[in-house]
A and B are shown apart, each in its own frame.
Chain A
């Protein structure tokens, strides 16, 4: 019997608000332990939560981008459990009445466009961090993260493979980055994902018993963990066994999932409506204001790049994955005839330098190695035949190093392509004269030597000769 997996993802996206969800403490990452705390996020007696309006607006932004219904009235709820990094011993979340309902996220997998429906998006506060390995006999608690706003984005269980799950996740990350509400950093945990997985006989309509997998810290980990978990469940079911409903942890080093807690030990979170906060009211005017301020989303932009700029599907996908990259590309390609070439330069050269020099500060590239207008000028120089593609690489490196405009570099360093037919002919003739023996060999059938002659001519012209003219002329003269 063949089996098919059914996957649903729960994503937690940390929001890029300045302050925490319910108090004025900074939500920034990386401060000294417990530097960003106050009586509210440390749950001192008598303190009360006050909702961060910006966080609500970010949730609305995400909801609109994913085509959710924005609930006019939603309700905060308490999720109760004891843990030292949860100071109130409850997390303020949303339960029965989330702020965003429904919606869908499209993604591309194997060149095919697909979409997954969302169940809901809601707001909640993050917990602090427990540090277990700093001391042998005690654990430490850092409450800087306690109260930082999170968006929980829950998909329907309808992803059919680990590849689809990863593609959906990438698309979702791209969206939250476009919206500038989350930096999408999986390694630092600002974009986290748990998966619910079950398997069933292929084509079946009933869901099997699911396991939840946690602790996947990269797209690769998500794919690997899901592959492993699907194989494990299929082995269990094929062997006549039953999948146990439980939570499992992905061990990235050993590449296995391990049980964390079973259903019998599952927490009873005793959810109930948060009495310290009135229902969250979002009126239509607010929703419309947010809608008016939404940026063009990656999927729409991809379609436009293909349609209007003539980019291949793949290039459009890569160039629209991040808003800042797409913005940069568009600034360079706007009004230029050769958008495809500019796209190649962005993907191959510009982003390489960004990576090498660590200029990326997700969701924003801090510093671009060359201005988009300068990149457009460079491509124009190639298109007009002023420089060759080969020389252009040298010019680009020089642009990055000095910040000078490409035309100036080309002129000052005499890199203008040699197109004067007489001058090229002279060089070709000199090379033929100097290598009589090789000419004879070539003419007797050793055509591989053609490259040698091209090399010699380029050398003689310091690489500036127009390669097509060199080729044509050499072929003619060698024919004898």
Chain B
């Protein structure tokens, strides 16, 4: 069985040799992840579509600079991250952070959230989460999204961000602390 990195490298080599359809394999494989990443950083579906598409266009135009011995997605994610941050810096009008695509599952048991004596997060909603996320920095939103919405391990997050695992744990600690504080205490 061909692993994903090999399959990506092959698709990229074909693209560079003039087979434009080969890039469709890369797009199909990473559309969902690219869109999600842009979505939880930007907080708006249409902007996430536009910016993640920009990232694919940039990647396509810079494919000759990609080292095919390395995995594709961390390289692509760097392009996407820079575009998202540039977009947020340049966005002149204030845009509400509102992700409609959040799904909230019913809890499997009605127990714990309120069982802790110091609890404040009990019956939080999509609105509260959007509100809390909107007040985090884009860097905090990114690491929160990778951890919770993409279910990535510390190691995978470290690979994608190009930082040591210890740094990921430290950033995750503070990002989760900020999220928790905002969920608990509302707007500050």
Question: A and B: partners?
Answer: no
What is A's interface to B at a CB cutoff of 8 Å?
A: none
What is B's interface to A at a CB cutoff of 8 Å?
A: none
